[in-house]
Amino acid sequence: MNTKSALLRIAEANNGVITTLAATNLNIKRGSILYLVKKGRLVKSSRGVYIMPEYLDDNFLNEQIRFKKGIYSLNTSLYLNGLSDRTPEKLDMSFPQTYNLSNPKKRGINCKNINDKYYKDGLIQIKTPYGNKVWAYCKERSLCEILQSKNNVDIQIITSAFKSYAIDSNKQLELLMDYAKKFNVENRVKAYMEVLL
């Protein structure tokens, strides 16, 4: 099998997506990707990300490839976790405390720095609506973070997310209360859950 066929097979197995990093890791030269772009077999989606034309472009995946340290949080995490039906107008990402936010902000991402102690806490891999895997925070952490006043989340989104969580058969109430304590929103979480359960 030649390198171009190998690239297309890898892309096919990855929901139509291939990155220059993946190609480089397989010792495939970038010229092979550029050849496939020239022939119309791949389309450049964003820097270092190429997609087969018969697949839909996935902005969730593209931005996470661009900003590898970014974890989807707040409204975006609620959406990916099925706790909101509102497609985010702007993506929300959290980064390590010392990460420079200027580039993600230029891309229009709502971003914030997280204390390293909590940065990876509640980290899960989740599928985007296009079937690609990205990193986001779990439902329980996301619910607690949206209650923090500094995050300015719309009350309708909060109420809707808690209603969805209350009827979720996979909810973990003990974990929710653990995060509520960590993020100092225990009373607010209890108030929502007492009404809904």
Quick: pLDDT tens for 94-126.
Answer: 999 999 999 999 999 999 999 999 999 999 999
- Mean pLDDT over each residue of the chain, to the nearest integer: 93
DSSP assignment letter at 100: -
**For residue 184, what are its two tokens?**
């100092």
CA triplet 45, 73, 128: central angle to 5 degrees? 45
Query: What is the CATH architecture assignment of 3-57?
Result: Orthogonal Bundle (1.10)
**pLDDT of 150 over the 90 cut:** no
pLDDT at 1: 56
Contact of 147 with 189, CB cutoff 8 Å: yes
Domains of the chain, by residue range, sit at 3-57, 60-196
pLDDT tens profile 81-95: 999 999 998 999 999
End-to-end CA separation in angstroms for the chain = 57
pLDDT of residue 184: 95
| Closest to 2 (Cα-Cα) out of 41, 58, 53 | 41
